[in-house]
Chains A and B, each alone.
Chain A
Amino acid sequence: MYTATRVTILALALVAAGAATVQAQNNATVNVTAAVQQPITVTAANPLDFGTVFPGVPKGVTLASGSAGRFTVTGQGSAPVSLSFVVPANLTFGVSNTLPITFIGSWNGINDPAGFGVVFAGATAATFSGTGNLYVFVGGTVTPSVSQAAGAYVGTVQMTVVY
């Protein structure tokens, strides 16, 4: 009996030792992946220039004119983007002289103003060309009053492009 008990205890001790070591470690991996698109660059390539205007005579610049404003944009080929603008209601000269102005615009994947229309209040959806180019053209009309003060009037058109 004594011997049997001793054997059993020994056997259980072996089992317990086995249980204590049953702690398996394992590991596995997965990758994390992402593809970053080309960053957007915007360049003011050409100013919108009305040249000489006369009091009481409105003057327009068409999108196809060499005096039209033009932005060139580069980014990820074929990617959609959103265009938004901040435009002035008037050009200014000095501190108190204003010259009313309105705008027209278009965008295209090639350097051709005969593209798609843009809006200046709100956002315009556009798409890069397959090679990642985008051209935006800005024209407009200024309306000097008959008593418009003579001088050089200026304003700024700001365009923001985001994916």
Chain B
Amino acid sequence: MRASLTIISLALGAALPLAAQQNGVTGIRDLAFGTVFPGLPSVVSRTDAVNSGRFDLSGKKNRDVQLTFVLPAVMTGPLAATMPLAFGADDAGYSPTQSVGNETVTWDPRTSQTLTLPNTANPKVSIFLGGRVSPAVNQRAGGYTGTVILNVVFF
């Protein structure tokens, strides 16, 4: 009896780290503003099925996750030219069904957000991101890029 208790307990203890291995986040799609014109701000909505940024998360059901974006203030272009990039309220959205436009929770990506994964086996969810770029009237022509990081803590 004593031996059985110990084995069961140790088995449980060993199973938890294995469960943690199921947690993951992957960058799926870039936030793409496409062609923009000097002096004309351009907006990409988080509900844009083609141009919004997208991350996919997987984890365990009912598990809380904390999402924190690291957002660039500018994009960098030719000859180190920069172009302002902004994010605001409702620019981030969470879809438990991985469907853009079906975000059940939206928030300002400049702040952290804690969510609970769906009560389904091995849930997979998506996070969508929109934003706004503001090229100056004399913005240097060319391609601009930046990087968005999504840090996820799985509780």
Contact = CB atoms under 8 A, between A and B. Distances in A.
A27 B145 contact: no
B54 A23 contact: no
Given A26-B23, A76-B141, A34 B2 contact: no
Interface SS of chain A: helix, strand, loop or mixed? mixed
B149 A28 contact: yes
A59 B10 CA distance: 103
B42 interface: yes
Contacts of A42: none
B149 A22 contact: no
A7 B2 CA distance: 7
A33 interface: yes
A8 interface: yes
B125 interface: no
Interface SS of chain B: helix, strand, loop or mixed? strand
Contacts of A54: none
Contacts of A33: 30-33, 75, 143-146
A32 B55 contact: no
A30 B30 contact: yes
Contacts of A163: 37-38, 40
B83 interface: yes
Interface size class of B (residues with CB under 8 A): 35 or more
Contact of B53 (A4, A14, A32, A162): A32
Contacts, number: 165
B9 A11 contact: yes
A11 B13 CA distance: 9
B104 interface: no
Interface string B112-132: 000000000000000001010
Among all A-B residue pairs, the 9 with the closest Cβ atoms: A11-B9, A34-B33, A163-B37, A32-B146, A30-B27, A39-B38, A28-B27, A24-B154, A18-B13
Interface of A: 3-4, 7-8, 10-12, 14-15, 17-19, 22-40, 76, 79, 162-163
13 contacts: A4-B5, A8-B9, A11-B13, A17-B13, A22-B19, A22-B155, A26-B154, A27-B152, A29-B27, A30-B129, A34-B135, A37-B36, A38-B38
